[in-house]
Every structure is written in C-alpha cells, then in structure tokens.
Amino acid sequence: MKKLVIIAFITLQAVIPALAQQGGITGKITDVSGDPLIGASIIIENTTTGTTTNVDGTFSISNLAPQTYTLQISYIGYENYQLQVEVGNSITNIGEIVLSQSLLMLSNQIVISGTRRAEKVTESPATIELISSKQIEELPSFNPGELLARVKGVDFVRSGVVGTGVNIRGFNSNFNAKNLQLNDGRYATLIATGLPFGPLTTQIKEDIERVEVILGPNAALYGPNAHNGLVHTITKDPRTSEGTTIALGAGNQSMFTSRVRHAQVINDKLAFKITGEYTQGEEFDFVDSVYIDRLDANGNPGPDGIKEGYEELELDNDFNFLRGEAALYYSVKEDADLIFSYSGSNSTYLAPTNVGRNQIIDWKVNQYHIRYTSPRWFAQAYMSTSKTQDTYSIDDRTKAYYAGLDAGLSDAEARGEQSYATGARFIDDSQRYNAELQYNNTFGEFEIVVGSQWQRDLANSEGTYLLDQNEDDYIQVDQIGVYGQVEKKFGGRLKTVVAFRGDNHEIYGFNFIPKAGIVRTGELGSWRLTYGQGIAAPTILNMYGDLFSGLILGNAEGFTLADGTTIEKQTVEKVQTFELGYKGQLTPKKLFIDANVYYNISEDFLSPVTVVGVTTERGGVPISQVQSGYGVYGGLVATYVNFGKVNTYGADLGLTYAITDELSATLNYSYFDYSVDKDDLAANDFNKDGKVNKLDVLVNTPNNKASLGFNYSSEKWFGTLFTRWVQEYDYFSSFQIAAETQDLVYRGVPIKENARSADTWNYGPLGGFVNVDLGLGYRINKVFTVSGQVTNLFDAEFREFTASPFIGRLYSLEVKASF
C-alpha cells in the first residue's frame, strides 16, 4: 500500500506541472464595421482542433501545449485570414481580427453537397455552383428561386409571377422530375409525382444560408433522381444567426409579402428558430385556349362539328402562400447536436403541366424532421405529407363542361360535378417516410464516408389520378440504398475520390451506381476530372397513374396491344457523364474563372406520356377492368415507356472580375448540343414514323445562353444589373408545343407557328429574348434596409414556358428590419 501511495505521489508531481503548462488562444472576429461575425471558423492548421465564434464574435481554444500555432480563420463571403500565434503557459489574447468581404469568395466557400462532407468548393470533385447568403440577403424579392437564373449551366424558366423552374443539361419537360431538390438534407419533392416542391416550399428567404447547385448526376451519394442535377437549400443555424428579422414587400400584380424570422439562444444547450411568411398576388393576365371538337347542331361530331378554342373555365389568377418552420437545437455535447424541426406550407396558384394548367388549391405540405450531427455520425429521420382536396386540371374540366352543355345540361349543371366527371379533380393524401445513417472517419491517408438510406412512399389519390381505389387504399413503394466514398490526398495537392451506391427499388430491383474523380489543387485554383453515373427511377405517377378515366395509365406492369405485341414495363433511365473542369483565380483577388466541359451518354429515356394504341391487358389484367373509361376509349391508352440512346455534350464558362473592392462583373456562357444514331430506328424512333429526328429525342434546351451581371455592395449601398440572353429553341412536351413553322408533323398536325396544334396553340419557339433586371438597396442603419427591384426592366414581351403567360415587367419594394 505504501508503494502505491509513493507511485501516485510521483505521478501527480509529473502530471500537475504538465497540466499547468497548458495554454490557449482567445480573440474576437468582426467585419470592417465592427459587427461580430457569428459562427466564423477558427482552425489550427494541419489539425482538427478548432472552434467557432459565439454571438458576440469571441472564441476560445484551450488545452494547447506551449509552441507556435498557425490559425486559419474563415467566414463565408469574407477573405480567409491566417495568423501565427505564440502560445505559452497561459491564455494568449490575439485581440480583434477584422475580416474583409471577398468579391471573389467562391474559392473560399465551404460546400457539403459534392461529397457529403465539408470541403472548399474548389476542392470538390463535382461541378458545384453556389448562391450565397449575401446574394439572398441583397435580393429585393420574396422569391429566392429568381437567383437560379444567375447560375451558369442551369436552364432557368419563369412560368409566371411566382413560378420558377430549373433544368440541367437537357431533356426538359412540363413534368420534370429529373433534378433532385433537397432542403436541409431531406427530399423536397412531391410523393406521387416526384416533382420538386417549387412554390410549395416551406422555407422563407430570410432563413436560407446558401443554395448549392450540382450540375450533372450525383446519384452515387443521393440516390435515384439526382440524375441531371441537384439543388440543395441549407438554412441558418439559430446559434450563428440570433436575432429577429421582419420584412414587408409590395409590388405590381397586387403582390404583397410579409415575412418574419426569430432565432434565439436560450443557454449553452438550447437554441431555437421560428419563421413565417404570407404572400399574395395576381398572376399575369393570360387565358390559355382549350381546343375542343364539339358536336354540331344535330349532335354529330366530324367535319360539320364546331372546332375552336375556348377560354379556360373559371380561371382564377389569384395566388397566395402561407409557409413557415420551427426548429429546436439541443447540444448533446460540445460537438454534437440533436435538431427537431417542423415545416409546412399551404399554397394556391396556377401550375403548368403537359396538358394545360392545373389550378392548385390549398395544397398542403408538411415535414417533421429529427437529425443528429457530430464529427463522425449523422443520422436523420423525417416524415413528409402532401394533401389537397380541390386541385384540378383546368383543361380537362373545361372540356367536360362543354361536353355537358352538348349533352343538354344547364350551365349550372355543367359547371358542377359534371365538369369533374372525366377525372379533372386531383385529390392527394400521401405520405413519405425517410431514414438515413451516415458515418465518416479518417483511417491513415484515407477519408471514408459510408451510409444507408431507406424510403417508403405511401401514395393516395382517393382514386382520382392513381390506380388506388379509395382513401384507405395506399400505393406503397419501398427502396433502400447503401453508399460509400473513399477519399485520399497525395501530398496535399492531389486527391482522388471514389464513390458508389447500391440501390434496391421494390419495383425496379437493384442498381449499382459508381462515381470517381481526381482533383489537382494549385495555388490559385484546381482542376477536376470526374466520371459518374446516374439513374432516374419512374415516379409513382409513371407507374400507377390513372388520369382522365384511364386514358393515361401508369406502366409498372406492361401492356398487351390488340395485335398481340407487348409494351414492356418502364424501367430506370441511365446516364454516364465524363467531365473536366477548372475553378479558381486567374489573377490573385481580381479574376475568377469557373469552367467545365462534359460528355453524357444517356439511354432508356423515361418518355413523356405517349399514345401506345389500343390495349387488351395491363400486366395480365383485362384492360376493361383497369380503364374506368373503357366504354369511351375502348382500351386506347397513353402511357410512359423507355426508349433511345442519345449522346449530349456541352460546356459552361463563368468569369468574375473585381473592378473595385465593392463592384464586380460576372459573365456566364453555356453551350449544349447532342448527337443520335439516326439509323437505329429500333432504339431511337420514338414516335414510330420511320425516321429519327428531334421529335424523337425531345431535347428541349437552347444551344446557347449567356448572362452578364454587375454587382455592387458597400457598407450602405448594394445593387445588381443583370442581363440574360437565351437563344431561340423549339420545345415539345406531350400536348405542349412551342416551335417555329417547319416541315414536320407533331401529334398528327403540321407544325405551324401561331396556329393550333391538336389540343393547344403554338405561339412559336421559346427563348429568343434578352431580359434585363435591376435591383437597388440601401442600409439606412444597422436595423433598417430598404430595397427595390425591377424584373424585365424594358417590359419585353417573351414567353419562357408552355402553358404559361407571357412575362411582363415586375417591380417590387421591400423594407426589412433586423434586430
């Protein structure tokens, strides 16, 4: 016992002086105006030791052995700062460090979407474009989706006052589910259709930290439908963005918006935030024509019948949105958090589709989310719900109304339930459940990420547009995926990344998706060479759709035609991509370049809805038992099929030049084209007319587009002058057409500009315009900011999308208070 006491005494004598010799570093990080930068990162170079600043901009790192350390200090939107600090046996105070805003901040920004772990945007093996919190803050509009127009490589379309959409690298349509949308790591897509939330989103502008846009497939890490690209919106942490913001805005089209965000740190364990928005207005004045072949005075169809266009029935141009989110952050320990959140929206607006416009009425989206984050583990589980009772197809309801009049009904009777008789009403009461577990660590020279995702879709339309029967009959589809990534650095300049995903879909079986990349980092930027694959799985609507009394049926089971031939069930669409890119500065702090070239091999396209002919069976079941309108259609079915193999290629170039410390100019240009084997009729003759042309491929993308923007931001003033040019291009999407006159036939009708084309009117090609936007803002003091914006400054008349109005001038004024 005496020996043990002596050993303990000697040990304490050795340990206590060592502990006493531990030092530390403290300080404060501010901007040039003296305001604290909350959440700035302070890392000791070549280590994982570091911290972030708190609400007053201060930080502290303790338990450091006496020696000289190099601090790397960074904050999104500001120049990186490096400082050597001599640490002794006590706390060393470095005082106040002032960071300067960086106009060419792109090389310093941290992203997470490329490899599912934090990295500099220049070191990511993916082509990632960033919309920063500063860009969002200085946008005088309630709709941050407008900023996607300023991202190179993105086909941006505006379908009205509130409707904005994006497509990446070709094959756009009025029902495009090939670009995955994420909000804080959770899928932000509708359950039955797979479409991005778009205007249904639950997030408000003031709560968005940044938006990361990946160009090209990233399915290896995110699963099916991160096919052409990914848009990931990341919201603010209340601990690094404490305070209250109130915004009020108004503009033409009777637009009014009010938004509020409050974030508060309760103690060192708890913080919360709550957001809310109400926006209303009126869509541009536009009435689409619905073409109907009506009966003549004797009740006979045919040459003597009436063939003309009618205005959309009971069109309502008013829109309104109510959305918000609440989140609670609990610090389990210093570097681990448990986050609970709820988000929801209720939306009413007009939405373009392949068959005219839908009147979206009180469409409710809710998401319940729990996640755990730590340096090594990430876990999340969330539930999404989608609900509407009164949404309907304006086109189909209009046709049913006039059919009712022809059948002798009164106007009131024809406008009532009769107008929904052919399936115009869309009811949705669907649910989705997701879970994910991810682990990352460093083993020697290798950084590893592994994870698994599970998803269960429960779709229910109460028999209105899916092959379910009633409110209790859910269509269930399960899928599970495992993914992994290995990253290795060679000498600090070169790194390789290899990733994979194994995905098992209940309907379409197992798919293996690989990805690999090499990144070479230099003093001013980096080169990357990437190979990746992507898949797009058919949506529940593609598989189990039942639209307009069975005229359109989903293709999860295949069909037998009247002549005995078969239509195979739809399977996944596949793409392979080869990409070379460079991102960095050409001259230090003056000229920044972001460029890429790519080549895609796409096959087994998921087609738009197409007529396959008269059918006798669907998956072995007589079509008379499946098609509710069998008495009218006699088995005539339109559905979705796979077809074709097309090679696409293109390039994107972005140049940003710092004219002064406050003023910069950005030039973006994108090129896109394709090639197809016109001799392979079996694979590529989609419409079976004996030849392969653009009506089979349906690229629906301009060959060239460019933009030029000037951005100014000082302590008081900020503003943007943005000009966008889109080359004219033909567009075809099921019933929708926008094309110049040419010697081709689409849906049985010669293509003529400014003329009827089957069920719709061809106004001519999309694009072919130059659009100018102007924004200006002034920071009155630390609390109040006033800003305004004019979109389409010169009121040029152009149309960006089918089943949508011509875009006119929009102007808005916004006042914001932050305290």
Task: Record the tokens describing residue 511, joined without a space.
Answer: 């798919």
Say what the pTM is: 0.87
pLDDT of residue 493: 84
Please tell me the distance from the alpha carbon of residue 526 to that of residue 106, in angstroms, as a whole number.
12
pLDDT of residue 77: 60
pLDDT of residue 689: 83
Please work out, in degrees rounded to the nearest 5, the angle formed at the alpha carbon of residue 365 by the alpha carbons of 362 and 369. 160
Please work out, in degrees rounded to the nearest 5, the angle formed at the alpha carbon of residue 511 by the alpha carbons of 507 and 517. 150
Q: What is the pLDDT of residues 585-617, one digit of tens each?
A: 887 668 889 999 999 999 998 887 888 899 999
Query: Shortest CA distance to 151 belongs to which of 218, 232, 78?
Result: 232
Q: What is the pLDDT of residues 615-661, one digit of tens each?
A: 999 999 999 999 999 998 999 999 999 888 999 999 999 999 989 88
Query: Shortest CA distance to 353 belongs to which of 301, 312, 320?
Result: 312
Query: CB–CB of 226/232 below 8 Å?
Result: no
Q: 563-566, long-range: CB within 8 Å, 24+ apart, which pairs?
A: none
Task: Give the number of C-alpha atoms closer than 13 A to the C-alpha of residue 87, restricted to the C-beta side.
Answer: 22
Please tell me the distance from the alpha carbon of residue 399 to that of residue 288, in angstroms, as a whole number.
13
Query: CB–CB of 630/550 below 8 Å?
Result: yes
Task: Record the tokens describing residue 454, joined without a space.
Answer: 């599970």
pLDDT of residue 5: 42
Query: Shortest CA distance to 115 belongs to which of 473, 495, 445?
Result: 495
pLDDT of residue 559: 96
Residue 396's SS3 state is helix
3-state SS, 603-667, equals: EEEECCCEEEEEEEEECCEEHHHHCCCHHHHCCEEEECCEEEEEEEEEEEEEEEEECCCCEEEEE
Query: Shortest CA distance to 466 belongs to which of 651, 191, 186?
Result: 191
Query: Shortest CA distance to 195 belongs to which of 318, 363, 314?
Result: 363
Please tell me the distance from the alpha carbon of residue 375 to that of residue 768, in angstroms, as a whole number.
49
Please tell me the distance from the alpha carbon of residue 269 to that of residue 557, in angstroms, as a whole number.
53
Query: CB–CB of 671/727 below 8 Å?
Result: no
Contacts of 498 (CB under 8 A, 6+ apart): 485, 486, 487, 514, 515, 516
Please tell me the distance from the alpha carbon of residue 453 to that of residue 265, in angstroms, as a whole number.
32
The residues of the chain scoring below 70 in pLDDT are: 1-21, 33, 48, 55, 76-78, 101-123, 219, 295-307, 588-589
Give the chain's domains with CATH numbers.
Answer: 2-101 (2.60.40.10), 110-537+572-608+641-729+766-818 (2.40.170.20)
pLDDT of residue 113: 61
